[in-house]
């Protein structure tokens, strides 16, 4: 990884799993890392663990609950006050809800956390990203996006909720967002790029919300048998870190483990599903996301920071 000294990196969900490993690696390369987390106590614990390995790590915290638009706005405002520019925004945090839940904004929680929150957060920080040369927005998707079907007429699952379908839809939305954002950035001729990544199958806390079969497969007791199917969070996070720091990465790239299944391994450029490249669907999702969040993107050449 090239040196990241002098760069500011915001990592959502940086207190555990993939986000923690991403934050640890970026801090180890010299970046000033902001852990944007729902639970500040857990974030502080994560920062302490990073400093045990890297005493000179430059770390700070901000409270961010992606499921609540008021929290998204408050976190973005706090970061704007602290930083005249942001070099890396890692949209890593996500989740899945086995039971149907509505957020305080009236959104289905999985879609709100995985897509609407990151969409609004990125838009509210966009001018800070545009103010940094060669900045990047990295959005973490999933191999599960291949099973995702986007229903713009029923994004909130009102016609019936199946938690796996909701998760796969949100991960498909992550890629559609990244590709449409890159198209808009390129059209404006700015230096910021949008890149996406997925970790393959990584053993993280995320599995606690999945089926009993998945939880058993992720158990440490079965690692001698499932090494080909599951990998550590540290290896899983390498796709995100490569998307964030590889000098050869281009806007619109998607990184993940190699091979047909893309379950495990060191990251390479990979292809996403044909659905993820549907431009008309991307634009419908974008306009609906703007309507729901009230956040509109204005992509233009950077102006001096406030």
pLDDT per residue as tens digits for the range 210-259:
555 554 555 554 444 444 468 889 999 999 999 999 999 999 999 999 98
Say what the pLDDT of residue 298 is. Answer: 86
What number is the average pLDDT over the span 109-129?
98
Report which of residues 303 and 271 the model is more confident about: 271
| DSSP result, 151-201 | -GGGTT-TT---HHHHHHHHHHHHHHHHHHHHHHHHHHT-S-EEEEE---S
How do residues 36-58 score in pLDDT, each as one tens digit? 999 999 999 999 999 999 999 99
Say what the pLDDT of residue 259 is. Answer: 82
| Residue with token string 């001729």 | 189
- Would you state the CATH architecture of domain 8-291? 3-Layer(aba) Sandwich (3.40)
Q: In which band, very low, low, confident or very high, does the pLDDT at 103 lie, cut at 50, 70 and 90?
A: very high
What number is the average pLDDT over the span 87-96?
95
Say what the pLDDT of residue 156 is. Answer: 93
User: Listing from the earlier edge strand, what are the strands of the sheet with 32-37?
Assistant: 58-63, 32-37, 8-12, 88-91, 136-140, 193-197, 254-256, 268-269
Say what the pLDDT of residue 84 is. Answer: 98
Instruction: Answer whether 181's CB lies under 8 Å from 194's CB.
Output: yes
Say what the pLDDT of residue 260 is. Answer: 82
Say what the pLDDT of residue 145 is. Answer: 95
Say what the pLDDT of residue 265 is. Answer: 92
Say what the pLDDT of residue 230 is. Answer: 81
What number is the average pLDDT over the span 164-178?
97
What number is the average pLDDT over the span 129-156?
96
Q: Where are the domains of the chain?
A: 8-291
Instruction: Please pick, among 161, 167, 179, 254, the residue that the annotation labels catalytic.
Output: 167
Q: In which band, very low, low, confident or very high, does the pLDDT at 301 lie, cut at 50, 70 and 90?
A: low
Say what the pLDDT of residue 141 is. Answer: 97
In angstroms, rounded to a whole number, what is the distance separating the alpha carbons of residues 174 and 161? 19
What number is the average pLDDT over the span 160-174?
95
Instruction: Answer whether 38's CB lies under 8 Å from 73's CB.
Output: no
- 191 by Cβ neighbours in 10 Å (0-12 / 13-18 / 19+) ranks as middle
CB within 8 A of 56, min separation 6: which ones?
none
Instruction: List 36's β-bridge partners, or say none.
Output: 12, 62
Say what the pLDDT of residue 306 is. Answer: 46
Q: Residue 173 pLDDT > 50, yes or no?
A: yes
Average pLDDT in the chain: 91
Task: Reply yes or no on whether 167 is catalytic.
Answer: yes
- pLDDT above 70 covers a percentage of the chain that reads 89
Q: Residue 104 pLDDT > 70, yes or no?
A: yes
Q: Give the predicted TM-score (pTM) of the model.
A: 0.91
């Amino acid at each position: 990884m090239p040196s990241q000294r002098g760069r500011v990196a915001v990592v959502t969900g940086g207190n555990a799993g993939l986000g923690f490993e991403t934050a640890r690696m970026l801090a180890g390369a010299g970046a000033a890392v902001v852990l944007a987390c729902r639970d500040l106590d857990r974030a502080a614990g994560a920062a302490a663990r990073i400093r045990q390995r890297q005493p000179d790590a430059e770390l700070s915290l901000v409270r961010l609950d992606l499921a609540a638009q008021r929290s998204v706005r408050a976190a973005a405002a706090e970061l704007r006050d602290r930083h005249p520019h942001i070099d890396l925004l890692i949209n890593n945090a996500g989740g899945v809800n086995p039971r149907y839940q509505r957020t305080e904004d009236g959104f289905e929680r999985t879609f709100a956390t995985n897509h609407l929150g990151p969409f609004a957060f990125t838009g509210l920080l966009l001018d800070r990203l545009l103010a940094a040369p060669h900045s990047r927005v990295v959005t973490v998707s999933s191999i599960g996006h291949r099973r995702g079907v986007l229903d713009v007429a029923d994004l909130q699952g009102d016609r019936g909720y199946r938690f796996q379908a909701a998760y796969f839809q949100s991960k498909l939305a992550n890629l559609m967002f990244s590709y449409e954002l890159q198209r808009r950035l390129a059209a404006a001729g700015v230096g910021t790029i949008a890149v996406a990544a997925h970790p393959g199958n990584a053993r993280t806390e995320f599995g606690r919300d999945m089926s009993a079969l998945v939880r058993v497969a992720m158990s440490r007791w079965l690692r001698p048998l499932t090494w080909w199917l599951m990998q550590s969070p540290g290896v899983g996070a390498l796709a995100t870190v490569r998307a964030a720091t590889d000098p050869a990465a281009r806007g619109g790239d998607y990184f993940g483990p190699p091979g047909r299944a893309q379950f495990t391994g060191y990251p390479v450029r990979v292809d996403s599903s044909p659905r993820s490249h549907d431009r008309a669907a991307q634009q419908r999702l974008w306009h609906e996301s703007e309507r729901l969040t009230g956040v509109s993107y204005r992509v233009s050449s950077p102006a001096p920071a406030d």
